[in-house]
Structure 1
Amino acid sequence: MLAAAGEKFKEERLLLLFLTILFGAGVVFGTLLASGLDEEQRRMLNEELSRFLMQLSQGQSVERESAFWQSFWQHGRWLLLIALMGLAVIGLPVILALNFLKGVLVGFAVGTLAIQHGGKGLVFALLSVLPTNLLSVPAYLAASAAAISFSLFIIRCRLIRRSGSLLPAAAALVGTTAIMLIVLAAASMLDAWLSPALMAWASGWLITG
């Protein structure tokens, strides 16, 4: 029992390391995408960003509760998709793609702001992106590791050896997913209450800069 638990812990630790590297590769790729935009695309993005920053600097109110539920719904859908892909077994490539895509989105957002506004844009990107992602990214990585571990268990113990109980592995996946959902709820709270305040504070000097 202890040996099996140790092997499972080692497997999930290696999966977390691999997924972290994959996410990091996505961040790099997203940054390269941002730097590869042509002048017209950069102009359009800059116009949209300028409008958004102007709204923030003018203190336009944000409905916090609505923003929380919208963010939580987005996080929840992403988490549910990861769990379902793990249960489906054949969804392993999709889980990997989702983690890479998450990195691309973060890298593109940070890269675009840094390219458009230099150091101030980088600071603004960190203020807007970092607080939520400090919770959401580890949650997605942990959920993905649990989902992949479950899929590998199905392949090894149910399809190849045709032995082993499915219930403990399924319970571990469901438990991890439930815990990560709570973490993502906390990330959504940061997204709704903390991030808008930080962005509003930073938007003024970013516009003037």
Structure 2
Amino acid sequence: MNRNRIGQAISYHIEENRSIYLFTIVLFLVGIVFGAIIVNSLSLTQKNDLYMYLNQFFGQVEEGQIAQASTMFSHTFSHYAKYFGLMWILGLSIIGLPVILILLFLKGVVVGFTVGFLVNQMGMSGFLLAFVSVMPQNFILVPAFIIVSVASVSFCLKMIRNQFVKRSNMPIFPQFLRYSMLILCVGALLVVASAIEAYVSPVVMRVVISSFI
């Protein structure tokens, strides 16, 4: 019974916000493309400086000189939780709508730039490194960010409708509770993503760096 209700709620949420999902996914993909383009627009000096810092980081990873996994987990989880919290707050304000979309776009830019720079500088080795260091947690984070963005945009639009459309008498408090519960449920995925980034990615990166770089 509970599974059926959860399934129905998920189906209703997707159906109700289908156009917003499509828009946010396209926006995120545009951000990835834009991030990759930025890599090609960097000067040779900028690329060399970034690559030098990258090599220093690789050396620290290979020698195990990075922060302890527990410390990295707490910092990573705190960072993502603050990001989600900010988007939740922005969803409660009418003027937060464009900022939510900008944050999602910037997330795409960061992913595109990181992967693009590694591939641009290191070829297939860079792609392999990006695949084991950037992609695993982002397989969870990216859908989570998109869901939170859609929920925030959707609630923001409902508030705008209630504020400016006189015929709209939809009670906002039940909508607020559903919105907040969705953010909390999706936020639980941050534990898994942070654990992968803190405990799994450094180990796999060390293996890849030692074997291929």
Q: Distance in 1 between matches of 2:127 and 2:116?
A: 8
Residue of 115, 121, 125 corresponding to 2:126: 121
Residue of 135, 142, 161 corresponding to 1:130: 135
Q: Distance in 2 between matches of 1:43 and 1:158?
A: 52
Match of 2:55 in 1: 50
* Counterparts of residues 125-204 of structure 1 (less than 5 Å): 125-161=130-166, 162-204=168-210
Match of 1:12 in 2: 17
Q: Distance in 2 between matches of 1:89 and 1:172?
A: 18
**Counterpart check, 1:107 vs 2:109:** no
**Counterpart check, 1:205 vs 2:207:** no
- Percent identity reads 34
1:64-105 CA-partner distances (Å, limit 9, x unpaired): 111111000110111011111110121100010001000000
**Counterpart check, 1:81 vs 2:61:** no
**Structure 1 runs (4+) greater than 6 angstroms displaced:** none
Q: Distance in 1 between matches of 2:11 and 2:78?
A: 35
Letter in 2 for 1:163: N
Which has the higher mean CA deviation after the structures are superposed, 150-159 or 87-96? 150-159
Letter in 1 for 2:129: F
* Counterparts of residues 52-67 of structure 1 (less than 5 Å): 52-60=57-65, 62-67=67-72
Letter in 2 for 1:32: I
Please report the TM-score for the alignment, with normalisation by the length of structure 2.
Answer: 0.90
Q: CA deviation at 1:13?
A: 2.3
SS in structure 1 of the partner of residue 104 of structure 2: helix
Gaps of 5+ in 2: 1-9
Letter in 1 for 2:193: A
Letter in 2 for 1:196: P
Match of 2:7 in 1: none
The alignment covers a number of residue pairs equal to 203
SS in structure 1 of the partner of residue 95 of structure 2: coil
Q: Is the 8 A contact 1:113 1:122 kept in 2?
A: yes
1:33-58 CA-partner distances (Å, limit 9, x unpaired): 01111110011011001111111122
Q: CA deviation at 1:59?
A: 2.9
